[in-house]
């Protein structure tokens, strides 16, 4: 009797651990403040909300296939060529496109030890081998990356600023990394948090000048459009052309496109959000330090709070949960003694600081 053979997935798929997003609920509580996913506590621009609502009358129509209006708006805001911009369902989709198009069986994809989890997932989904290199005190280490490059390397992913560390490396270090990579290796600069850094282009300048540098960005953070799932990438025309060949023709909804275009144009609202974030990020870091909890200087909309042990980190997470706050344990990012805390509004920051201070005071008694 012939035993039926079950379908077998492609190599690498079963090595993927399912991505775990930030928690959104606490059992038994309804008044929860979510500080686990680095969302804008003030929500999206009112203009973006209005554009989203206005799109409701066209739900029976297919969306634009070329995203031309949004690409023009992004290009105008950042001073970039719209023809070198690709839009995706979050920057995650751009990352997946890059792996799908440029890495496969026998190839390697480099990411750092505390880098965004989707780099590894997308590499494995494409059949490639993810290669993890060390960071230096939670900062991207250019020398470690260059030492990890082999003849099989096809992509190098770094987030700058990095998630979940909040740290950044200089333009000079990024340029040194680009200079040190072989021409066949694509350097991907993930700028999901670039807007939070004053006078920083997220790598757009390098992506403009180099044939093997791509920048990715998102509307999920400062623009407050996480539910819309919209991001974009910018790079050499040849690479963008390749990515568009695998992009689904209707990968973004009409409502998402409209909301994103309105958001990028409402610079006054964005600047207000950035100013609030900078003020309360620095205040919260100082308050946590006073309570005995260290945080690196953050260039994002979150802090990485470091405790003396994984047990202390998880106990503090429990105390914050009890106070109605959801934060993000980051053991899966090789940081078991840390919590990532999104910077909320003033009231949330003050209450988080008080809760952590009370917790730490109890621990040392």
Q: Is residue 51 one of the residues assigned to a domain?
A: yes
- C-alpha distance from residue 209 to each of 65, 193, 194, 204, 365 (Å): 28, 22, 19, 9, 58
Identify the pLDDT of residue 235: 98
What pLDDT score does 97 carry?
98
What percent of the chain stands above pLDDT 70?
98
Q: Please give the average per-residue pLDDT across 31-47, as a whole number.
A: 96
Asked whether residue 225 is domain-assigned, the answer is yes
Rounded-to-10 torsion of CA 205, 159, 227, 266: -30
**Whether pLDDT at 263 is above 90:** yes
CATH code, domain with 53: 3.40.640.10
| pTM assigned to the model | 0.93
Q: Is 226 found in the same domain as 279?
A: no
Q: Based on the domain organization, do 291 and 213 belong to the same domain?
A: no
pLDDT at 365: 59
Q: From 216, 244, 265, give the residue that closes a domain.
A: 265
Q: Considering the domain boundaries, does residue 10 fall inside one?
A: no
Q: Are residues 255 and 285 in the same domain?
A: no
Q: What is the band of 14 on the pLDDT scale with cuts at 50, 70, 90?
A: confident
Residue 259 or residue 17, greater confidence:
259
For 275-301, b/e burial (b = at least 16 CB within 10 A) is ebbbebbeebbebbeebebebbebbbb
- Angle at 61 (CA atoms; ends 60, 67), nearest 5 degrees: 145
Q: What average pLDDT does range 19-44 have in this prediction?
A: 85
Same domain? 228 vs 242? yes
Q: Which whole number is the average pLDDT over 229-244?
A: 98
Q: Please check the confidence at residue 120 and state whether its pLDDT lies above 90.
A: yes
* Nearest-angstrom CA–CA distance, 82 and 303: 33
What rounded mean pLDDT belongs to the chain?
Answer: 95
pLDDT 10s digits, 64-79: 999 999 999 999 999 9
Q: Is residue 70 part of a domain?
A: yes
Give the confidence band of 281 by pLDDT, cuts at 50, 70, 90: very high
Q: Note down the domain range covering 54.
A: 46-265
Query: Same structural domain for residues 202 and 180?
Result: yes
d(CA 133, CA 113): 6
CATH code for the domain of 27: 3.90.1150.10
- Say how many domains are in the chain: 2
């Amino acid at each position: 009797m012939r035993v039926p053979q079950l379908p077998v997935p492609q190599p690498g798929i079963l090595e993927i651990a399912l991505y775990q997003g930030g928690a959104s609920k606490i059992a038994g509580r309804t008044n929860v403040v979510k500080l686990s996913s680095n969302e804008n506590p003030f929500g999206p621009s009112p203009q973006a909300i209005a554009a989203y609502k206005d799109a409701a009358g066209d739900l029976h129509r297919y969306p634009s296939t070329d995203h031309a209006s949004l690409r023009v708006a992004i290009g105008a805001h950042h001073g970039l060529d719209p023809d070198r911009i690709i839009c995706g369902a979050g920057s995650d989709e751009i990352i997946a496109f890059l792996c799908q198009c440029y890495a496969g069986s026998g190839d390697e994809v480099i990411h750092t030890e505390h880098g965004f989890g989707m780099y590894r997932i997308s590499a494995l989904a494409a059949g490639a081998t993810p290669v993890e290199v060390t960071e230096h005190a939670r900062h991207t280490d250019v020398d470690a990356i260059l030492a990890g490059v082999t003849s099989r390397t096809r992509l190098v992913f770094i987030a700058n600023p990095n998630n979940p560390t909040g740290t950044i490396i200089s333009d000079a270090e990024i340029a040194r990394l680009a200079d040190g990579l072989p021409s066949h290796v694509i350097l991907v600069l993930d700028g999901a948090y670039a807007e939070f850094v004053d006078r920083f282009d997220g790598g757009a300048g390098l992506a403009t000048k180099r044939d093997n540098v791509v920048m990715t960005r998102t509307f999920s953070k400062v623009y407050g459009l996480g539910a819309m799932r919209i991001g974009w990438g910018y790079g050499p025309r040849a690479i963008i052309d390749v990515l568009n060949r695998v992009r689904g023709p209707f990968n973004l909804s009409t409502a998402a496109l409209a909301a994103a275009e309105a958001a990028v144009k409402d610079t006054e609202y964005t600047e207000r959000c950035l100013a609030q974030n900078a003020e309360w990020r620095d205040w919260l870091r100082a308050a946590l330090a006073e309570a005995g909890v260290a945080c690196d200087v953050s260039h994002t909309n979150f802090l990485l709070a470091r405790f003396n042990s994984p047990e202390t980190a998880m106990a503090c997470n429990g105390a914050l949960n009890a106070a109605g706050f959801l934060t993000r344990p980051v053991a899966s990012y090789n940081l078991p003694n840390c919590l990532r805390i999104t910077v909320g509004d003033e009231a949330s920051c003050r209450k988080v600081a008080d809760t952590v201070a009370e917790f730490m005071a109890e621990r040392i008694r």
